[in-house]
Amino acid sequence: MSYLDWKVGDKVVCVKSDFGWIEVSGHSVPTRVPMLREILTIQEITFVPEKDDVFLVFREIDKRQTDGPLAADITWAARCFRPLTTAKSDISVFTAMLHDKRQKVRA
């Protein structure tokens, strides 16, 4: 997907969860990573030309993560997520039951 396919506020689902980490003197970041099949809300979108890739930040996960003296702003490769699609509900059957137009006869 291209940079323009992602929108702030959209929901996405994590489809790849083998994220790396940085470790220094027993401390590591990120301290919180997206979990497989976790649904997240896009808060920020960045295109990094040097990597020719799109990176996302989510409302549910702090961008700034720290572990002891180690701290970093963490973004997530968009290729590890897909847009969440929801099926439209058809409630016409229930609406028809509420507005039953058939003629009623007293028994």
Residue 29 lies in a domain: yes
Residue 52 lies in a domain: yes
- 104 inside domain: no
In what helix (H) or strand (E) does residue 96 lie, and over which residues does it extend? helix 92-98
Overall pTM > 0.95: no
- For residue range 53-73, list pLDDT tens digits in order: 999 999 999 999 999 999 999
Number of structural domains (the chain) is 1
The gap from C-alpha 55 to its chain's centroid, in whole angstroms, comes to: 12
Residue 105 lies in a domain: no
Residue 33 lies in a domain: yes
**Domain that includes residue 42, residue range:** 3-98
Q: Could you report the per-residue pLDDT of 36-46, keeping only the tens digit for each?
A: 999 999 999 99
